[in-house]
Amino acid sequence: MMKDVQTLYQHGTLALLVPGLFDGTITTSDLLTHGDTGIGTLAGLDGEVVIINGQAFQAAADGTVNAVTDEMTMPFASVHTFDSQLPTTPVAAMTMMAFTAWLKQFAGLKNAFAGIVLTGTFNHVHVRVAPKQVKPYPPLTTATASQPEFTRNDVTGTVIGYFAPELYAGVTVGDFHLHFISDDRQFAGHLLDFAITTGEVVTQVLPNLLLHLPTDNADFMHADIDLQGLNESINQAER
Pairing of strands 76-80, 73-74: unpaired
The reply to whether 80 sits near Zn ion by the rule CB under 5 A is: no
CA 103 to chain centre: 17
Binding window for Zn ion (CB under 5 A); candidates: 94-102, 182-190, 197-205, 221-229: 182-190
What's the min distance (Å) between Cβ of 161 and Zn ion?
8
CB nearer to Zn ion: give 86 or 230.
Answer: 230
What's the min distance (Å) between Cβ of 36 and Zn ion?
18
- Taking the C-alpha atoms of residue 218 and residue 214, their distance in angstroms, rounded to an integer, is 9
Binding window for Zn ion (CB under 5 A); candidates: 18-26, 97-105, 187-195, 208-216: 187-195
Going from the C-alpha of 58 to that of each of 46, 61, 100, the distances in angstroms are 8, 10, 24
CB nearer to Zn ion: give 82 or 180.
Answer: 180
CB nearer to Zn ion: give 11 or 190.
Answer: 190
What's the min distance (Å) between Cβ of 39 and Zn ion?
6
Binding window for Zn ion (CB under 5 A); candidates: 94-102, 137-145, 189-197, 221-229: 189-197
Burial bucket for residue 49 (CB in 10 Å: 0-12, 13-18, 19+)? buried
Binding window for Zn ion (CB under 5 A); candidates: 54-62, 63-71, 85-93, 186-194: 186-194
Compute how many other C-beta atoms are within 10 angstroms of the C-beta atom of residue 61.
18
Total residues contacting Zn ion by CB under 5 A comes to: 1
What's the min distance (Å) between Cβ of 48 and Zn ion?
5
> Phi/psi of residue 222, each to 5°?
-100, -10
Whether 120 contacts 196, CB under 8 Å: yes
Going from the C-alpha of 82 to that of each of 41, 67, 90, 239, the distances in angstroms are 20, 20, 18, 25
What's the min distance (Å) between Cβ of 17 and Zn ion?
10
- Taking the C-alpha atoms of residue 99 and residue 81, their distance in angstroms, rounded to an integer, is 23
Residue selected from 25, 114, 190, 196 as contacting Zn ion according to rule CB under 5 A: 190
For Zn ion, the binding residues (CB under 5 A) are 190
